[in-house]
């Protein structure tokens, strides 16, 4: 940021000339890191979603029917966002709102299991507030507000 100031792009390497050898090497390194790091991240994403939806381990039959839509979703998201800074801002808004406002009340709701109805209402209202704050963060990031 100190080098390019306000003209800094979301992907800092795009600020450097295409003839810059060190920038080209850095682009190759980032590409390799993404190429070999993505499968590990996707495996965690896949396993987490399968567990949330009660699947547990990978299905033994046709796992492609559940994994291919997840991969297509991830590829579509990657095609939509060209500015990594914007993607990081949206990710930060959503994850921060979830971790601060939504996850704790949802975990507490799991512990209540039908007891104390007013406590459930309060916890759900905090979770909804978190969803609203995350939505506002996304709206501001896209520049719609």
**Helix or strand run (H / E) with residue 119:** helix 117-142
pTM of the model: 0.54
Contacts of 3 (CB under 8 A, 6+ apart): 15
The pLDDT of residue 99 is above 80: yes
Cβ proximity of 74 and 34 under 8 Å: no
Measured distance CA(123)–CA(34) in Å, rounded: 38
Percent of the chain with pLDDT strictly greater than 70: 90
The pLDDT of residue 108 is above 80: yes
pLDDT for res 57: 66
105 or 57: which leads in pLDDT: 105
Q: How confident is the model at residue 128 (pLDDT cuts 50, 70, 90)?
A: very high
pLDDT for res 104: 92
Backbone angles phi, psi at 143, to 5 degrees: 80, 20
40 or 105: which leads in pLDDT: 105
Q: In terms of C-beta density within 10 A (0-12 exposed, 13-18 middle, 19 or more buried), how is residue 32 classed?
A: exposed
Residue range 53-92, pLDDT digits in tens: 777 666 666 666 777 888 888 888 878 877 767 777 888 8
Question: What is the arithmetic mean of pLDDT over 32-44?
Answer: 83
Measured distance CA(11)–CA(27) in Å, rounded: 10
The pLDDT of residue 103 is above 80: yes
Q: Nearest 5 degrees, angle CA 56-CA 58-CA 60?
A: 120
């Amino acid at each position: 940021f100190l080098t390019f100031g306000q003209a800094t792009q979301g992907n800092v390497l795009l600020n450097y000339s295409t003839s810059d050898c060190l920038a080209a090497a850095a682009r190759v390194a980032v590409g390799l890191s993404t190429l070999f790091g993505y499968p590990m991240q996707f495996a965690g994403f896949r396993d987490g979603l399968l567990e949330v939806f009660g699947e547990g381990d990978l299905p033994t039959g046709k796992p492609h029917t559940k994994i291919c839509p997840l991969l297509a979703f991830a590829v579509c998201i990657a095609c939509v966002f060209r500015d990594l800074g914007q993607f990081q801002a949206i990710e930060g808004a959503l994850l921060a709102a979830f971790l601060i406002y939504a996850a704790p009340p949802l975990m507490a709701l799991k512990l209540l299991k039908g007891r104390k109805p007013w406590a459930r209402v309060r916890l759900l209202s905090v979770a909804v507030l978190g969803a609203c704050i995350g939505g506002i963060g996304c709206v501001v990031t896209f520049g719609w507000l």
